[in-house]
């Protein structure tokens, strides 16, 4: 079994397989059968329905598609942060956003109505090729209802009936970026370039310069700290952050806590413990990207911020708990991964953690993080 399959929620995976078989039995006639290869599509849509890290991991796919089909119009359908994250990137011609109910958990009538409006707009585009860049059965259904002629995706989570082209899941790849990108092998597209890249606009660079000046910060001494994550199981104890921040301050570094939209409680808890109050950065996504690009080092959880750092070239220390790092870590050299293998309760069922203390994260101690910081800083000093 591929390692990715092992970390998926096994109960949900079994249900997906049953659903897939049931739909195939009942609606088997819906499947479009094509024996011809997909040739020179002019209108391509890529659907990435999940979080910031997933979207950044889709950028090599978008770049490879634009290189292979330079005359094609490539449309990205993603959550609402996609415009701020990728607007102006040369490999996307159009970005259409909506709040995907299955990733934002917004099933309100107002949002469902907006989703249907987006679907109507997508149907009018008459796409030649649609690609699921997430590997999600609900995305496969979306590709079907928007009326794309050819629909490419892996079917490991079910709903193969709604896809026209289903390659074999590769067994020699463990990282989600590589697995999703390998869909393009089916189109005979070169997938050797796995770099994630984000362009930074001058106005955001200028904002960072002003921020550093206003706070009397030497950018060679700035260490970004991002304590947030998409699920509580990935969070680290404030007491441990406090030890790391106090160490950095004692060594003459400037700790800046990067606060995401839902991070106020954990940031409050960390700041209340620190001997010297660290700076607290809360701003828009483009400014955050520009700020991270100037940091000497970033310490963060398994989150989208790690992928932002990887895409702008900032050295990273990432703490992993519920999910093994090889599955989703940024594919960069300047990364230090911290991971405790002793927990026997993986794969994690988010929201149903059987260990109240979240022992997979509590097993990581500040002393380990500090040792990685010293290693990274020494390596950076050696290179200069």
Predicted pLDDT of residue 353: 65
Token code pair at residue 365: 């101690």
The mean pLDDT of 143-148, rounded to a whole number, is 95
Which residue, 156, 187, 218, sits at the end of a domain? 187
Same structural domain, 282 and 376:
yes
The mean pLDDT of 306-331, rounded to a whole number, is 93
Query: Above 70 in pLDDT, residue 60?
Result: yes
Q: Which residue has the higher pLDDT, 79 or 321?
A: 79
Which residue, 142, 159, 187, sits at the end of a domain? 187
Domain span at residue 323 reads 202-383
Query: Above 90 in pLDDT, residue 76?
Result: yes
The Cβ-side half-sphere exposure at 35, using a 13 Å CA radius, reads 0
Token code pair at residue 19: 């659903």
Same structural domain, 275 and 162:
no
Q: Which residues contact 138 (CB under 8 A, 6 or more apart)?
A: 49, 100, 102, 159
Same structural domain, 183 and 206:
no
- Find, among 324, 317, 356, the residue nearest to 340 by Cα: 324
Token code pair at residue 159: 């709903």
Confidence of residue 381 (pLDDT cuts 50, 70, 90): low
Number of structural domains in the chain: 2
Separation of alpha carbons 280 and 300, rounded Å: 15
Which residue, 160, 187, 214, sits at the end of a domain? 187
Backbone angles phi, psi at 212, to 5 degrees: -65, -40
Query: Above 60 in pLDDT, residue 355?
Result: no
Predicted pLDDT of residue 316: 96
Q: Is residue 75 part of a domain?
A: yes
Q: Is residue 193 part of a domain?
A: no
Separation of alpha carbons 169 and 259, rounded Å: 37
Same structural domain, 162 and 210:
no
Q: Is residue 25 part of a domain?
A: yes
Q: Which residue has the higher pLDDT, 237 or 358?
A: 237
Query: Above 70 in pLDDT, residue 382?
Result: no
The Cβ-side half-sphere exposure at 209, using a 13 Å CA radius, reads 6
Same structural domain, 182 and 278:
no
Same structural domain, 160 and 51:
yes
Backbone angles phi, psi at 45, to 5 degrees: -125, 135
Q: Is residue 179 part of a domain?
A: yes
Predicted pLDDT of residue 301: 95
Query: Above 60 in pLDDT, residue 369?
Result: yes
- Model's pTM, two decimal places? 0.90
Same structural domain, 124 and 216:
no
Under DSSP, the state recorded for 47 is: E
Separation of alpha carbons 238 and 236, rounded Å: 7
Predicted pLDDT of residue 22: 73
Query: Above 60 in pLDDT, residue 383?
Result: no
- Find, among 299, 355, 346, 296, the residue nearest to 326 by Cα: 346
Same structural domain, 229 and 305:
yes
Q: For the chain, give the number of residues.
A: 384
Same structural domain, 76 and 139:
yes
Predicted pLDDT of residue 19: 72
Q: Is residue 96 part of a domain?
A: yes
Q: Is residue 225 part of a domain?
A: yes
Indicate the burial class of 58 (C-beta count within 10 angstroms; 0-12, 13-18, 19 or more): buried
Same structural domain, 290 and 221:
yes
Predicted pLDDT of residue 50: 94
The mean pLDDT of 15-36, rounded to a whole number, is 68
Q: Is residue 196 part of a domain?
A: no
The mean pLDDT of 368-377, rounded to a whole number, is 89
The mean pLDDT of 342-367, rounded to a whole number, is 73
Separation of alpha carbons 289 and 91, rounded Å: 19
Predicted pLDDT of residue 359: 78
Predicted pLDDT of residue 232: 87
Same structural domain, 77 and 20:
yes
The mean pLDDT of 114-118, rounded to a whole number, is 96
Q: Residue 241 maps to which CATH number? A: 3.40.50.2000
Query: Above 90 in pLDDT, residue 14?
Result: no
- Find, among 193, 175, 78, 198, the residue nearest to 131 by Cα: 78
Which 3 state secondary structure label does DSSP give 355?
coil
Over the stretch 152-209, which tens digit does the pLDDT of each residue have? 999 887 778 899 999 988 888 889 999 999 999 999 999 999 999 998 999 999 999 9
Cβ proximity of 151 and 130 under 8 Å: yes
Under DSSP, the state recorded for 170 is: P
Q: What percentage of the chain reaches a pLDDT higher than 90? A: 67
Q: Is residue 192 part of a domain?
A: no
Over the stretch 80-113, which tens digit does the pLDDT of each residue have? 999 999 988 899 999 999 999 989 999 999 999 9
CA of 305: how far to CAs of 54, 315, 352, 369, in Å? Answer: 11, 12, 24, 17
- Find, among 324, 295, 28, the residue nearest to 176 by Cα: 324
Same structural domain, 263 and 370:
yes
Query: Above 90 in pLDDT, residue 307?
Result: yes
Mean pLDDT for the chain overall: 89
């Amino acid at each position: 079994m591929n390692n990715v399959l092992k970390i998926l929620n096994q109960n949900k995976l079994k249900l997906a397989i049953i659903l897939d078989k049931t739909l195939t039995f009942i609606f088997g006639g819906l499947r479009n059968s094509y024996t011809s290869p997909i040739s020179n599509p002019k209108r391509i849509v890529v659907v990435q329905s999940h979080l910031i890290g997933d979207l950044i991991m889709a950028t090599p796919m978008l770049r490879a598609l634009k290189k292979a089909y330079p005359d094609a119009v490539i449309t990205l359908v993603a959550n609402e942060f996609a415009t701020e994250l990728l607007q102006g990137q040369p490999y996307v011609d159009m970005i259409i956003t909506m709040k995907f109910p299955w990733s934002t958990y917004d099933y309100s009538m107002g949002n469902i109505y907006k989703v249907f409006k987006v679907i109507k707009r997508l149907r009018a585009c008459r796409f030649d090729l649609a690609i699921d860049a997430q590997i999600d059965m609900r995305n496969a259904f979306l590709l079907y209802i928007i009326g794309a002629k050819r629909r490419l995706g892996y079917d490991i989570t079910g709903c193969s009936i709604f896809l026209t082209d289903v390659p074999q899941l590769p067994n020699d790849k463990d990282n989600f970026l590589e697995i999703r990108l390998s869909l393009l092998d089916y189109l005979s597209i070169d997938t050797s370039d796995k770099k994630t890249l984000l362009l930074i606009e001058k106005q955001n660079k200028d904002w960072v310069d002003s921020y550093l000046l206003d706070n009397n910060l030497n950018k060679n001494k700035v260490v970004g700290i991002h304590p947030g994550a998409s699920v509580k199981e990935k969070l680290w104890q404030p007491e441990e952050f406090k030890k790391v921040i106090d160490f950095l301050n004692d060594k003459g570094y400037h700790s800046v806590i990067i606060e995401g939209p839902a991070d106020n409680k954990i940031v409050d808890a960390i700041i209340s413990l620190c001997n010297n109050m660290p700076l607290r950065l809360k701003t828009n996504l483009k400014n955050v990207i520009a700020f991270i690009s100037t940091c000497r080092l970033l310490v963060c959880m398994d989150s989208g911020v790690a992928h932002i750092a990887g895409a702008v070239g900032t050295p990273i220390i990432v703490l992993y708990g519920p999910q093994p790092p090889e599955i989703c870590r940024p594919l960069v050299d300047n990364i230090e991964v911290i991971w405790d293998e002793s927990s026997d309760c993986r794969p994690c069922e988010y929201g149903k953690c059987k260990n109240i203390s979240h022992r997979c994260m509590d097993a990581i101690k500040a002393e380990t993080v500090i040792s990685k910081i010293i290693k990274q800083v020494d390596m950076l000093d050696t290179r200069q």
